[in-house]
Amino acid sequence: MTTAFDVDPHSLVNKAADALEKEGFKAPAWAPFVKTGQHRERPPVQNNWWHVRCASVLRSVYIKGPIGVSKLRKRYGGNKRRGVRPRHFRLASGNILRKCLQDLQKAGYVEYRDKGIKKGRVITGKGKKLLDNLAKTIKDGKV
């Protein structure tokens, strides 16, 4: 069976973003005006960047297991350009990632787990089914 591990991540995230957009995921009103982190100089130029970020977060939850906002901030962070001074790593915006996780949780794709050593969001059967079905269509060449 084809899973999200077997296909190109970029194409899987784009397909998942389209699926989330069709399902009715709405970007917040402030989404067109915010930067995605302190390391960015300008807001994203894509119109559907919110859906792409939510799809990417969904894939990250699927791949990395129980994961929280802190780890996701590190994953989506980057180097801040400081002119002639050396670059420094900065974390991504926690509010954007938190809202994405909350939207995905409200839709039933992820859930919070606080048992055991690792705490954080894990993927549900519904989320796994969505990503695996999209991976299968990508692998079969059905566009």
| Domain segments of the chain as ranges | 9-140
CA dihedral over 40, 17, 14, 10, signed as positive or negative: positive
pTM over 0.85: yes
3-state class (DSSP) for residue 71? helix
Which CATH number does 9-140 carry? 1.10.10.10
User: Along the 143 residues of the chain, how does pLDDT read in single tens digits?
Assistant: 788 888 889 999 999 999 999 988 888 898 888 888 888 888 888 888 999 999 999 999 999 889 989 999 999 889 999 899 999 999 998 899 999 999 999 999 999 998 878 889 999 999 999 999 999 999 887 65
